[in-house]
């Protein structure tokens, strides 16, 4: 009994599902942290259970980013919402040239969510965080009533250090630059769609979900001039290239036959009526680089395990009239625009 006269329910069945009390900040919250989060994510900073994480930096240039993850279903071939949340936020830091140093993870859980499943996903977060060598140093959990969320949402934020002197930005593309992509596109989107209720189809495609900071650092280490990079998530490669064209105010032409995609992805796209250029990746980046350095950067990418399938797929053609054109296999070019609405909802 406590001050409010409430008794702690001791039966096991309740204990196995998330209840609203797990989000109360009280005893059940403390128990969830102790039994589920800390065993998986333990590190000296997180273990202090302070309101904020603290660490020492020599730092000059800090990078900072955030992303919510609402992928449906929570698990898919090649990953789950946990690995996705870790790698996705690392990638947002990687593509601006930052060395990721720490992540936060904030969970919104639906009442009734199985704690065993929560534990699995927290362990997946741990594994992805270890593999990337980027610790989770701050966390939070909220619980909402049954029917007020869809199992679990995770928001990760991250920060890192950008090496001094590195100049990288979406506004830096210029005519003549080469456009590179780090590997076959669309794997993540097709893997998630294949796992989705009501849309099951046979495919061997697994998500490309991976942390790209090593690959990005390898590219930068060549000394070649990388103008900008972006990971091709929601909206796929076509969307990312449109964003970069808009930020730099340039026209970009993509050579469709040069764009790498697995046969299985192309086949699935045929079935689903999708264009692979708009299908999300979670472990591929687009880079715009100085044409004089393109071959050297591409060679370095291909020597990295996450860049083996890297290709040059297009070029920046001119200033003004920012747009993206696609040169098809048959010769003519057409506009490769942003999607007007939603192609694949809840893909990340």
Indicate which single residue of 37, 76, 113, 278 sits in contact with a copy of itself (rule: CB under 8 A). 278
Whether cis (ω within 30° of 0) applies to the bond prior to 73 is yes
Chain centre distance of CA 340: 22
Strand boundaries in 112-223, DSSP class E:
136-144, 152-162, 178-181
Task: Report 131-150 residues binding a copy of itself (CB under 8 A).
Answer: 137-145, 147-150
Side-chain-facing half-sphere of 249: CA atoms under 13 Å: 2
Is 169 near a copy of itself (CB under 8 A)? yes
Least Å from the CB of residue 32 to a copy of itself: 12
- Of 204, 202, 222, 245, nearest to 310 by C-alpha is 222
Q: Is 188 in the site for a copy of itself (CB under 8 A)?
A: no
Q: If binding is defined by CB under 8 A, does position 29 make contact with a copy of itself?
A: yes
Task: Considering only residues 233 through 272, tell me which ones interact with a copy of itself, judged by CB under 8 A.
Answer: 233-235, 238-239, 243, 247
Q: Cα–Cα distance between 237 and 240 in angstroms, integer?
A: 5
Binding status of residue 207 toward a copy of itself by CB under 8 A: no
Q: Does position 8 bind a copy of itself by CB under 8 A?
A: yes
- Report whether 258 contacts 180 (CB < 8 A): no
| Strand 79-80 with 75-76, pairing | antiparallel
User: Can residue 340 be called a binding residue for a copy of itself (CB under 8 A)?
Assistant: yes
- Window contacting a copy of itself (CB under 8 A); options: 77-85, 166-174, 195-203, 260-268: 166-174
How far apart are CB 94 and a copy of itself at their closest, in Å?
9
- Please select the residue that binds a copy of itself; options are 62, 199, 221, 299, rule is CB under 8 A: 62
| 64 or 201: CB nearest a copy of itself | 64
Nearer to a copy of itself, 7 or 12 (CB): 7
Nearest by Cα to 252 from 313, 328, 338: 313
Phi and psi at 152, nearest 5°, equal: -160, 135
Residue 105 interacting with a copy of itself (CB under 8 A): yes
Token pair 């989705």: residue: 196
Of residues 15, 16, 39, 66, which one binds a copy of itself by CB under 8 A? 66
């Amino acid at each position: 009994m406590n001050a409010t006269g409430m008794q702690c329910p001791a039966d096991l069945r309740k204990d196995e599902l998330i209840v609203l009390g797990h989000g109360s900040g009280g005893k059940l919250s403390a128990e969830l942290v102790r039994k589920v989060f800390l065993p998986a994510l333990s590190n000296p900073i997180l273990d202090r259970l302070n309101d904020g994480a603290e660490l020492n930096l020599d730092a000059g240039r800090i990078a900072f980013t955030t992303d919510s993850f609402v992928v449906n279903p929570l698990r898919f071939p090649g990953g789950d919402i946990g690995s996705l949340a870790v790698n996705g936020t690392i990638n947002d830091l990687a593509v601006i040239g930052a060395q990721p140093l720490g992540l936060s993870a904030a969970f919104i859980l639906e009442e009734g969510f199985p704690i065993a499943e929560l534990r699995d996903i927290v362990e997946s977060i741990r594994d992805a965080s270890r593999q990337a060598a980027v610790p989770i140093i701050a966390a939070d959990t909220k619980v909402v009533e049954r029917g007020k969320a869809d199992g679990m949402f995770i928001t990760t934020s991250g920060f890192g250090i950008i090496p001094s002197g590195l100049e990288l930005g979406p506004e830096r593309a210029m005519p003549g630059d080469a456009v590179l992509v780090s590997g076959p596109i669309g794997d993540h989107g097709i893997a998630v769609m294949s796992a989705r209720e009501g849309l099951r189809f046979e495919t061997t495609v697994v998500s490309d979900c991976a942390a790209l900071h090593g690959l990005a650092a390898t590219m930068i280490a060549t000394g070649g001039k990388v103008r900008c990079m972006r990971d091709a998530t929601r909206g796929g490669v076509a969307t990312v290239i449109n964003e970069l064209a808009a930020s730099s105010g340039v026209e970009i032409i993509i050579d469709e036959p040069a764009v790498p995609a697995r046969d299985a992805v192309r086949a699935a796209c045929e079935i689903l009526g999708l264009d692979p250029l708009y299908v999300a990746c979670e472990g591929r980046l687009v880079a715009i680089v100085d044409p004089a350095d393109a071959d050297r950067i591409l060679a370095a990418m291909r020597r990295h395990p996450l860049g083996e399938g890297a290709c040059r797929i297009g070029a920046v053609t001119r200033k003004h009239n920012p747009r993206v054109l696609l040169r098809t296999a048959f010769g003519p070019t057409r506009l490769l625009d942003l999607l007007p609405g939603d192609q694949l909802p809840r893909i990340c």
